[in-house]
Structure 1
Amino acid sequence: MDTAVFLDRDGVINEVLTKRVKFVNKPSDLHLLPGVEEAILHLNQSGLKVFVVTNQGGVGLGYMKEATLHKVHDTLLEKLGKVEATVDDIAYCHHKPHEGCACRKPEPGMLLKLAEKHAIDLSKSYMVGDRDVDIIAGKRAGCTTILVGTEKAEADKRFKDLLEASKWIVEDFQASDKK
């Protein structure tokens, strides 16, 4: 079974709630955070699978159509592809907040589904997020949890951004691979 890094999207990969963009509701709203391309490429080169798991309640609430969300994700993949960074798969929950589905973080449904689909060992994998719902989902799935940014949550590790986190993840992955 493979080891993976599950990445939240908004606030980990791209800007959200900044002066430039409030929410990512169309491809032109997608602005990658500094170092993201390098971080994902580093994860790729280390042999880790990389997945995006993102709550997208804006679809359920009618702020965006599902087809537009797919275009946003296509734009993400294009931007990463310019430096040969790749994402193995993207899972999203389009349900409204508080709808009670099993996929919306803090529930672990998206991680569990991707793990089954791609033969991932969750106990050796990592969940990187910027909010408590990401960390809770990662813990419920059995992953090592990593918080990036300034929010408070009970994560296993904390870093200022994805680039810093990626360096630690690769070191930890390589050290555990030698055991």
Structure 2
Amino acid sequence: MPLVILDRDGVINQDSDAFVKSPEEWLPIPGSIEAIAKLCQAGFQVAIATNQSGIARGYFTVETLTAMHKKMEQLIGQAGGKIIAITYCPHGPEDNCDCRKPKPGLIYQLAKQLQFNPQETWVVGDSLRDLQAAETAGCKPALVTTGKGQNTLKKLPELSYDVPVYKDLAEFTETLLKQDQSK
């Protein structure tokens, strides 16, 4: 079954420079929940790989992150979709871990857990580090212009590879499903 890996903040939910610190602050981007449900209903599996340095910075706890993810999964479930796995990096930028994007550790964790083919797997993000992690892991990167995506667009010339750009997760999903149907 094909897999799509999503970044969370800025792709599924509204991002904040002050961090999303509670389930109340976790607000879906219009159309993102439905897009995930459509992917699932079309036979795709959906997983999440997300940096969550707010834990290391003391802005929220692992328990609060779990509550945010529970809210997200409930909304997706109500729409007819399912997240099969969530990996997150709790470390700060200076911790030099292997899991913080742009390093591919979160994607490698998912690969070990889910046994997918990276060359057939999309990674959708709104930041340059999402795209870099996807490329390093051998996946297909895609950029959405929600969240930090507009700023990331300006950095695309730095990349040595082409990245398709979409308005949001809904547009990515519609395009992917049209391509999938034409096979």
Is TM (by shorter chain) over 0.5? yes
Aligned counterparts of 1:133 and 1:161: Cα–Cα separation in 2: 17
Q: Counterpart of 2:54 in 1: which secondary structure?
A: helix
Give CA-to-partner distance per residue, 1:144-168, whole Å, 9 cap, x none: 1110011323452100100000112
Give the equivalent residue in structure 1 for 2:165.
158
Aligned length: 172
Whether the 8 Å contact between 1:39 and 1:162 is mirrored in structure 2 is: yes
Whether the 8 Å contact between 1:3 and 1:122 is mirrored in structure 2 is no
The runs of 5 or more residues in structure 1 that have no matched partner are: none
Q: For residues 95-134 of structure 1, what are the structure 2 equivalents within 5 Å?
A: 95-134=91-130
Amino acid at match of 2:93: P
Pair 1:173–1:142, CA change in 2 (3 A): farther
| Offset, 1:174 | 4.5
CA contact (8 A) 1:43 1:50 kept: yes
**C-alpha deviation, 1:173, in angstroms:** 3.9
Between 1:101-110 and 1:76-85, the stretch displaced more is 76-85
SS of 2:40's partner is helix
Match of 2:36 in 1: 40
SS at match of 2:94: coil
1:82 maps to which of 78, 83, 87: 78
Cα distance in structure 1, aligned partners of 2:180 and 2:6: 16
Which of 84, 87, 90 is the matching residue for 1:91? 87
Question: Residues 129 and 147 of structure 1 are in contact (CA less than 8 Å); yes or no, is this contact kept in structure 2?
Answer: yes
Partner of 2:59: 63
Gaps of 5+ in 2: none
Question: TM-score w.r.t. structure 2 length?
Answer: 0.88
Specify the alignment match of 2:10 in structure 1. Answer: 11
Q: Give me the whole-angstrom Cα distance separating, in 2, the residues matched to 1:174 and 1:105.
A: 32
CA contact (8 A) 2:41 2:80 kept: no
Three-state SS of the structure 2 residue aligned to 1:79 is helix
* Cα RMSD after superposing both structures: 1.5
**Aligned residue type for 1:32:** P
**In 2, Cα distance between equivalents of 1:78 and 1:45:** 16
Counterpart pick for 2:21 among 10, 25, 29: 25
- Distance between the aligned counterparts of 2:21 and 2:86, measured in 1? 17
Q: Deviations over 1:77-102 (max 9, x none)?
A: 11112212211111100011121111
